[in-house]
Amino acid sequence: MTATSIAFFLFGAITLWGGLVVTITIAIKNDKKDSN
């Protein structure tokens, strides 16, 4: 793969998969707060 296509793959992956990980982490933390 070229450097440009790798850069755009990373742009998409970090935004989408990173966004998913962050939002799920927030949900788990808040659920723990609720249960305490």
- Smallest distance from another protein to CB 4, Å: 6
From CA 22, how far away is CA 7, in angstroms rounded? Answer: 21
Tell whether residue 14 is a contact of another protein (CB under 8 A): no
- Smallest distance from another protein to CB 36, Å: 14
From CA 28, how far away is CA 33, in angstroms rounded? Answer: 9
Tell whether residue 19 is a contact of another protein (CB under 8 A): yes
Tell whether residue 4 is a contact of another protein (CB under 8 A): yes
> Which residues have C-beta within 8 Å of that of residue 9, sequence separation ≥ 6?
1
